[in-house]
């Protein structure tokens, strides 16, 4: 997938490209924030968000005008992309470059979503939507990058995360699919379920860690790696059982969503595993695992206004913790319930989760969504139903 980058001509501007390609100026400015928009030089390149560059073989009867019209772009866009070619005389079989607007997803939710598929999707999204900010906040036990994405320029800060639990990897696919749909709506000037999205981009900065536990996800989907140490460790923890589909923990057998200092000692006392296990072992102390440390540091650094943790399963969501939740959380819960079929639950007898700790630490709204119904890992055949039901909550978390 080739990004669409153009070389400015004398008199060109970001504003002009915005009009020419039909992409909002602020998106183009963020996609090219390393450039001086008031002084574009012919040595620079300007990325056009939402477009890719493709080769096109000229057919009989084609003209530059007819090709541009078929692509629903201005004729000058075609000349700009082919600035070294003479488009006044085209011959059958000639090859020219065309700017193609993406109107369909890059993310394919029918694939099993391990860390390599996730990284592949992320790399493609970065190419087409360079206003999507991508960084890393740390590494997993096995050294895999924990990726952090940001989109938007608003003062309101919303955070989502997925795959705290290894066999709940479908949450990463749900998050990335919605992100892709949001990017498509922004660059195609389309609403999402009737909601205009560009005002959301202006008002909200959305932070996403799509895959908190890449080691665990890969273990569930592909089995142990060739790494002798971790291969032996996980086999011992799993009691030599070859099936790892029930694994929720990180690669060291620590349940990452039982690792936060929100009455962690209660979970430590009552959880049955007293040593590394496929699920539920809270560790020897809170905040011992690198994945959890990275998430806690991110929350402290960014000072989010709300967090949403995606889990499975149950078709319900939890939004209270020990009375620390603010009054506005109830109003948000009412809206989440309205736009989905999910049941709103204020309190559950559980501690030491990311949402629990966030509410306790910051006194701000936090939600744990339990997507779908069944036995984890939920099958991909459920994806469409899960996505349609949680779509409204994803959207509402941005406008509420």
Q: What CATH number does residue 81 fall under?
A: 3.10.350.10
CA angle, 136 then 399 then 110, to 5°: 55
Q: How far is CA 332 from the centre of its chain?
A: 22
Q: How far apart, in whole angstroms, are the C-alpha atoms of residue 172 and residue 109?
A: 10
CATH number at residue 180: 3.40.630.10
In the chain, what's the furthest Cα-to-Cα distance? 79
What is the percent of the chain where pLDDT is above 70? 100
With bands split at pLDDT 50, 70 and 90, how would you rate the model's confidence at 211? Answer: very high
Q: What is the mean pLDDT of residues 280-306?
A: 98
Q: What is the mean pLDDT of residues 289-293?
A: 98
| Pair 374, 319 in one domain | yes
Q: What is the mean pLDDT of residues 231-252?
A: 96
Q: How far apart, in whole angstroms, are the C-alpha atoms of residue 270 and residue 264?
A: 10
Task: Calculate the average pLDDT of the chain.
Answer: 97
Q: What is the pLDDT of residue 37?
A: 84
With bands split at pLDDT 50, 70 and 90, how would you rate the model's confidence at 1? Answer: confident
Report yes or no on 8 lying in a domain: yes
Q: What is the pLDDT of residue 39?
A: 84
| Pair 200, 295 in one domain | yes
| Pair 342, 393 in one domain | yes
Between strands 306-312 and 3-6, the pairing is: unpaired
Q: What is the pLDDT of residue 38?
A: 83
Last residue of a domain, one of 101, 125, 144: 101
Report yes or no on 223 lying in a domain: no
CA angle, 212 then 215 then 218, to 5°: 110
Q: What is the mean pLDDT of residues 308-322?
A: 98
| Pair 82, 166 in one domain | no
Does pLDDT of 98 surpass 90? Answer: yes
Q: What is the pLDDT of residue 67?
A: 97
Between strands 133-139 and 156-161, the pairing is: unpaired
Over the stretch 37-53, which tens digit does the pLDDT of each residue have?
888 988 899 999 999 99
Does pLDDT of 371 surpass 90? Answer: yes
Q: How far apart, in whole angstroms, are the C-alpha atoms of residue 333 and residue 327?
A: 10
Phi, psi at residue 121, to the nearest 5°?
A: -65, -45
Report yes or no on 296 lying in a domain: yes
Q: What is the mean pLDDT of residues 256-261?
A: 98
Does pLDDT of 58 surpass 90? Answer: yes
Q: Are 164 and 309 in contact (CB under 8 A)?
A: yes
Does pLDDT of 84 surpass 90? Answer: no
- Alpha carbon distances (Å) from 125 to 3, 10, 130, 222, 239: 10, 30, 8, 25, 40
| Pair 91, 153 in one domain | no
Q: What is the pLDDT of residue 12?
A: 94
Q: Show the domain range for 52.
A: 3-101
E strand map for the chain: 3-6, 46-57, 95-101, 133-139, 145-151, 156-161, 204-209, 306-312, 316-318, 343-345, 366-371
Q: Residues 168, 267, 291, 370: which is the catalytic one?
A: 370
Which segment of 46-50, 82-86, 195-199 scores lowest on mean pLDDT?
82-86
Last residue of a domain, one of 71, 101, 131: 101
Count of domains forming the chain = 2
Report yes or no on 18 lying in a domain: yes
Report yes or no on 279 lying in a domain: no
Catalytic site includes residue 45? no
Phi, psi at residue 45, to the nearest 5°?
A: -130, 135
Report yes or no on 95 lying in a domain: yes
Which segment of 39-43, 196-200, 201-205, 365-369 scores lowest on mean pLDDT?
39-43
Phi, psi at residue 388, to the nearest 5°?
A: -65, -35
Q: Would you call 247 exposed, middle or buried from its count of C-beta atoms within 10 A (0-12, 13-18, 19+)? A: buried
Q: What is the mean pLDDT of residues 370-381?
A: 97
Report yes or no on 227 lying in a domain: no
Last residue of a domain, one of 75, 101, 127: 101
| Pair 201, 297 in one domain | yes
Over the stretch 20-33, which tens digit does the pLDDT of each residue have?
999 999 999 999 99
| Pair 76, 203 in one domain | no
What is the percent of the chain where pLDDT is above 90? 96
Q: What is the pLDDT of residue 225?
A: 86
| Pair 204, 297 in one domain | yes
With bands split at pLDDT 50, 70 and 90, how would you rate the model's confidence at 227? Answer: confident
- Alpha carbon distances (Å) from 151 to 126, 134, 135, 208: 11, 9, 12, 9
Report yes or no on 231 lying in a domain: no
| Pair 211, 308 in one domain | yes
Q: What is the pLDDT of residue 7?
A: 94
Q: What is the pLDDT of residue 29?
A: 96
Half-sphere exposure of 349 (CA within 13 A, CB side): 3
| Pair 18, 88 in one domain | yes
Does pLDDT of 213 surpass 80? Answer: yes
Contacts of 294 (CB under 8 A, 6+ apart): 137, 138, 139, 146
- Alpha carbon distances (Å) from 131 to 1, 7, 99, 126, 186: 17, 18, 18, 8, 11
Q: How far apart, in whole angstroms, are the C-alpha atoms of residue 131 and residue 147?
A: 16
């Amino acid at each position: 997938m080739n990004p669409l980058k153009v070389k400015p001509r004398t008199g060109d501007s970001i504003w002009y490209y915005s009009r020419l390609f039909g992409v909002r100026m602020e998106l183009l400015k963020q996609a090219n924030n390393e450039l001086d928009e008031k002084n574009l030089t012919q040595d620079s390149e300007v990325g056009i968000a939402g477009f890719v560059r493709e080769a096109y073989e000229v057919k009989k009867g084609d003209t530059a005008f007819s090709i541009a019209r078929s692509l629903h772009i201005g004729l000058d866009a075609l000349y700009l992309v082919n600035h070294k070619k003479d488009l006044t005389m085209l011959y059958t079989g000639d090859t020219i470059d065309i700017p193609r607007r993406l109107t369909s997803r890059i993310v394919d939710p029918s694939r099993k979503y391990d860390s390599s598929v996730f990284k592949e999707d992320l790399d493609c999204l970065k190419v087409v939507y360079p206003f999507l900010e991508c960084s890393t906040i740390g590494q997993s036990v096995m050294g895999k990058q924990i990726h952090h994405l940001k989109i938007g320029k608003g003062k309101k800060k919303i955070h989502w995360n997925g795959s705290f639990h290894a066999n709940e990897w479908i949450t990463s696919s749900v998050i990335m699919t919605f992100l892709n749909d949001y990017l498509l709506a922004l660059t195609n000037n389309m609403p999402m379920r009737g909601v205009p999205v560009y005002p959301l981009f202006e008002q909200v900065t959305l932070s996403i860690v799509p895959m908190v536990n890449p080691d665990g996800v890969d273990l569930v989907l592909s089995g142990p790696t060739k790494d002798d140490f971790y291969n032996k460790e996980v086999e011992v923890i799993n009691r030599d059982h070859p099936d790892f589909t029930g694994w929720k923990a990180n690669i060291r057998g620590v349940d990452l969503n039982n690792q936060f200092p929100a009455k962690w000692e209660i979970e430590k006392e009552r959880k049955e595993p007293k040593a590394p296990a496929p699920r539920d072992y809270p560790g020897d102390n809170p905040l011992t695992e690198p994945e959890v440390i990275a998430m806690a540091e991110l929350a402290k650094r960014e000072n989010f206004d709300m967090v949403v943790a995606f889990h499975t399963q149950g078709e319900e969501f939890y939004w209270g913790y020990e009375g620390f939740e603010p009054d506005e959380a109830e109003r948000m819960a009412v809206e989440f319930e309205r736009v989905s079929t999910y049941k709103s639950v204020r309190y559950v007898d559980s501690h030491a989760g990311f949402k629990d700790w966030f509410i306790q630490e910051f006194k701000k709204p936090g939600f744990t969504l339990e997507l779908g119904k069944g036995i984890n890992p939920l099958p991909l055949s459920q994806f469409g139903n899960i996505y349609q039901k949680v779509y409204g909550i994803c959207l509402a978390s941005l406008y509420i």
